[in-house]
Amino acid sequence: AQSVTQLDSQVPVFEEAPVELRCNYSSSVSVYLFWYVQYPNQGLQLLLKYLSGSTLVKGINGFEAEFNKSQTSFHLRKPSVHISDTAEYFCAVSVLNQAGTALIFGKGTTLSVSS
């Protein structure tokens, strides 16, 4: 079975500082990896996804993530955060090419950006 571990439940940072949100996954088969963002009282929005190919993937809002198969990690990074990046971030894993198989989410990381 697949599982996702987000190593930090809360990450407080100052505006314009870099940030890394850590995610490790566990799976015995090939997977797709995703990062979703959830703003207060809103739905889940896809930030970026890794399917195959280049291990460095770029997403929306200046975020990027690097897939590291040997370390089974998919950490999310942004070089300079804004106040508006304050939100809940979820890492998720999906089994490759399994119709109907769900995304499994991590517990989430709360990113708090202050001035």
Partner 1 sequence: AAGVIQSPRHLIKEKRETATLKCYPIPRHDTVYWYQQGPGQDPQFLISFYEKMQSDKGSIPDRFSAQQFSDYHSELNMSSLELGDSALYFCASRYGTSGSSGELFFGEGSRLTVL
Using rule CB under 8 A, residue 1 touches partner 1: no
What distances in angstroms separate CA 8 from CA 21, 74, 105, one per listed residue? 7, 13, 14
Number of shown-chain residues binding partner 1 (CB under 8 A): 24
Structure tokens at 75: 């950490």
Pick the stretch among 19-27, 55-63, 77-85, 99-107 that binds partner 1 (CB under 8 A): 99-107
Report in angstroms how near the CB of residue 34 gets to partner 1 at its nearest.
Answer: 7
Binding to partner 1 by CB under 8 A, coded x per residue (else -) over 3-32, reads -----------------------------x
Residue closer to partner 1 (CB basis): 58 or 82 = 58
Q: How far apart are CA 47 and CA 91, in angstroms?
A: 10
Question: What is the binding site for partner 1 (CB under 8 A)?
Answer: 32, 34, 36, 42-46, 49, 51, 90, 94, 96-97, 99-108
